[in-house]
Homo-oligomer: A and B are copies of this chain.
């Protein structure tokens, strides 16, 4: 599993819907923020991955919604690695409001390693080794950072 990186966001007004809570589609955007900060903290900014020709398109996504989030709530996104294979990486996420101890949602996304042309890459370096190393780390360091 390795370390989890906690990123803090705030629910935007435009992210609510007429039910008065955060719209269910936004969680995938928040997961994306989580893995952006995970990469920045533990390997290198994801924008550098793309500059070096490594893209991570999503191939699967799953969300389990547990308790709704409201406008202006500060929300923790805890991101960690679930699994690294030769062709893909799976991230785990836990989303919870800062001031309440109830989980708001949890989920995971799986991403392929691809080149700029969309072709699958096998163990793209140095990123693949970093991810392997991070995922094996016994470290349970929790870094908190604003987005």
Partner of A14, one of B17, B61, B62, B146: B17
Chain A: interface residue total (CB-CB under 8 A): 42
In the complex, are the beta carbons of B13 and A36 less than 8 A apart? Answer: yes
A12 CB contacts on chain B under 8 angstroms: 29, 32-33, 36
- A16-B17, A18-B71, A36-B72 given; name 20 further pairs at CB < 8 Å: A9-B147, A12-B32, A12-B36, A13-B23, A13-B36, A13-B46, A18-B18, A19-B55, A24-B109, A25-B28, A25-B29, A45-B72, A47-B70, A47-B71, A58-B63, A59-B65, A60-B64, A61-B63, A61-B65, A62-B62
Q: Which residues of A contact B (CB under 8 A)?
A: 8-10, 12-14, 16-21, 23-26, 28-29, 32-33, 36, 45-47, 55, 57-65, 68, 70-72, 109, 118, 146-147
